[in-house]
């Protein structure tokens, strides 16, 4: 029962990722290995999850690809930009997320993925010092060169469609500045005037992608597409945008566990979260200005799940703290500790401790796959602007903060939104309530 208004996934899908580090090299290697039947894409909902469609006698549980026309893994072509010139094979070996035996079977394909020069400004990530960077006089020139990269990649690889995703480091915090970020005209002027304070390099990637008819996904907590000017551009180009920050470890736990406290009507005194991480992401986040960007994203989760106004007896004045510590010995093996101080009957205190020894890129890779496939689907379905149904995958879901809209951070409500959107695009009734 396919909805004819969704264009079929014909031809090749080019996935162009900013950053060819741990997440991207793990993602690409996994897809190439899965295509050869040498591994399974575990953790990817587009490859495994089944959704109920119909009710009563009509009820069926179907994988996403039987409800909507998703691009096949066989049709994906990979490209990347990075400040370091290492190809995808060398990057995968260097990042030490995967064992060599799980990389070597696709070595030939990985070696062909050589990163294009990155649009980069060291002021936005002081800890990175790669030299594979574009020489641009202005931010507008950055946009022009990136657009040319996308056009060339699309042509050389015979791609029908492109999706661009950011899986590079977190930039320093760029607060929303109305005179520049408030309208598309102001943003374009600032790019031409080379306003390097308010225009982050990531904004140039997003602008270039949307202008070239490619959906854009923000996998870091950067404010890149979380500004009215970009919403205006997405509307003008009729392209989907999604962001921000892949929901991999600790925030996944938080968005799933906070509903337990809320549903059971227990009180919260405090939630302390800390992480140790040793990869390039950890190195960049060791810089206070870059951590600030991440902190804003990680703090926003809890406040919209356990709402003081809704339950003043239970959630007034709780203390919420988030820490990230750079610890090189761990590399990509991130460890997250959560100490949760709750209270129950008659105010008696209790504690919950969660210790998640996760692998950052192993959790992020399937998210990146799903976000790319579903953003491509959204574009073919004529959906544009902020894709709220993708909030499930993101730490700090985008929403229109100019209105009274409240972002949905509750994991199971987010999952309902995802299922409803898939049903709708598949021509079925979006029949679950988000409440």
The answer, yes or no, to whether residue 207 has pLDDT greater than 60, is yes
The topology (CATH level 3) of 250-359 is Dihydrodipicolinate Reductase; domain 2 (3.30.360)
pLDDT tens-digit series, residues 102-159: 999 999 999 999 999 999 999 999 999 999 999 999 999 999 999 999 999 999 999 9
The answer, yes or no, to whether residue 363 has pLDDT greater than 50, is yes
Residues paired with 322 in a beta bridge: 273
Cα separation, 381 vs 400, in Å, equals 22
**CA-CA-CA-CA torsion sign (373, 142, 90, 279):** negative
The answer, yes or no, to whether residue 290 has pLDDT greater than 90, is no
Q: What residue ranges do the domains of the chain occupy?
A: 12-246+362-425, 250-359
Which of 3.40.50.720, 1.10.260.40, 3.30.10.20, 3.30.70.20 is the CATH number of 12-246+362-425?
3.40.50.720
pLDDT tens-digit series, residues 4-19: 589 999 999 999 999 9
∠ CA 303-306-307, nearest 5°, is 75
Rg of the chain over all Cα atoms, to the nearest angstrom: 21
DSSP element (H, E) containing 334? strand 333-343
Cα separation, 352 vs 117, in Å, equals 47
Residue 295, pLDDT score? 82
Main-chain phi, psi angles of 142, to 5 degrees: -55, -50
pLDDT tens-digit series, residues 385-418: 999 999 999 999 999 999 999 899 999 999 999 9
Residue 2, pLDDT score? 43
Same fold, 12-246+362-425 and 250-359: no
Residue 3, pLDDT score? 47
What is the rounded average pLDDT of the residues 361-372?
97
pLDDT tens-digit series, residues 301-357: 898 899 999 999 999 999 999 998 999 998 889 899 999 999 999 999 999 999 999
Q: Residue 80: which of 163, 140, 203 has the closest Cα?
A: 163
Per-residue burial over 209-243, b if 16 or more Cβ lie within 10 Å, else e, is bbbbebbbbbbbbbbbbbbbbbbbbbeebebbbbb
Q: Residue 134: which of 281, 126, 147 has the closest Cα?
A: 147
Concatenated DSSP letters for 34-69? Answer: HHTTSS--TT-HHHH-EEEES-GGG-EEEEHHHHS-
Residue 131, pLDDT score? 95
Task: Please tell me the pTM assigned to this model.
Answer: 0.95
Mean pLDDT taken over the chain? 95
Residue 297, pLDDT score? 72
Provide the residue count of the chain.
435
Q: Residue 411: which of 392, 384, 383 has the closest Cα?
A: 392
What band does 249 get if pLDDT is binned at 50, 70 and 90? confident
Concatenated DSSP letters for 68-92? Answer: S-PPPGGGEEEEEEESS---HHHHH
């Amino acid at each position: 029962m396919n909805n004819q208004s969704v264009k079929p996934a014909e031809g090749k899908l080019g996935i162009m990722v900013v950053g060819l580090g741990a997440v991207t090299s793990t993602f690409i290697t996994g897809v190439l290995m899965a295509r050869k039947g040498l591994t399974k894409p575990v953790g990817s909902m587009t490859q495994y999850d089944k959704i109920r469609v119909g009710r009563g006698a009509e009820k069926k549980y179907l994988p996403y690809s039987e409800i909507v026309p998703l691009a096949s893994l066989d049709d994906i072509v990979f490209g990347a930009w990075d400040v370091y010139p290492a190809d995808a094979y060398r990057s995968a070996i260097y990042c030490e997320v995967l064992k060599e035996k799980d990389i070597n079977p696709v070595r030939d394909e990985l070696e062909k993925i050589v990163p294009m020069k990155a649009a980069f400004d060291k002021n936005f990530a002081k800890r990175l010092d790669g030299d594979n960077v574009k020489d641009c006089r202005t931010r507008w020139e950055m946009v022009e060169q990136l657009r040319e990269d996308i056009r060339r990649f699309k042509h050389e690889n015979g791609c029908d469609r492109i999706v661009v995703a950011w899986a590079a480091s977190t930039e320093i915090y760029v607060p929303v500045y109305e005179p520049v970020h408030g309208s598309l005209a102001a943003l374009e002027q600032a790019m031409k005037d080379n306003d390097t304070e308010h225009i982050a390099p990531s904004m140039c990637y997003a602008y270039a992608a949307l202008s070239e008819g490619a959906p854009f996904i923000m996998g870091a907590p950067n404010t890149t597409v979380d500004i009215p000017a970009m919403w205006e551009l997405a509307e003008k180009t009729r392209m989907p945008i999604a962001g921000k920050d892949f929901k991999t470890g600790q925030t996944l736990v938080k968005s799933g566990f906070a509903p337990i406290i809320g549903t059971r009507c227990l009180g919260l005194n405090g939630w302390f979260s800390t992480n140790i991480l040793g990869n390039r992401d950890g190195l960049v986040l060791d810089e206070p200005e870059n951590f600030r960007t991440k902190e804003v994203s990680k703090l926003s989760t809890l406040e919209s799940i356990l709402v003081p106004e809704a339950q003043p007896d239970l959630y007034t004045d709780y203390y919420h703290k988030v820490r990230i510590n750079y610890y090189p010995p761990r590399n990509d093996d991130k460890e997250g500790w959560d100490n949760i101080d709750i209270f129950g009957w008659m105010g008696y205190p209790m504690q919950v401790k969660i210790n998640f020894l996760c692998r950052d890129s192993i959790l992020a890779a399937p998210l990146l796959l799903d976000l790319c496939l579903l953003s491509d689907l959204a574009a073919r379905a004529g959906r544009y602007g902020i894709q709220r149904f993708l909030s499930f995958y993101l730490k700090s879901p985008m929403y229109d903060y100019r209105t009274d809209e409240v972002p949905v951070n509750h994991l199971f409500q987010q999952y309902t939104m995802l299922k409803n959107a898939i049903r709708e695009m598949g021509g079925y009734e979006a029949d679950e309530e988000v409440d």
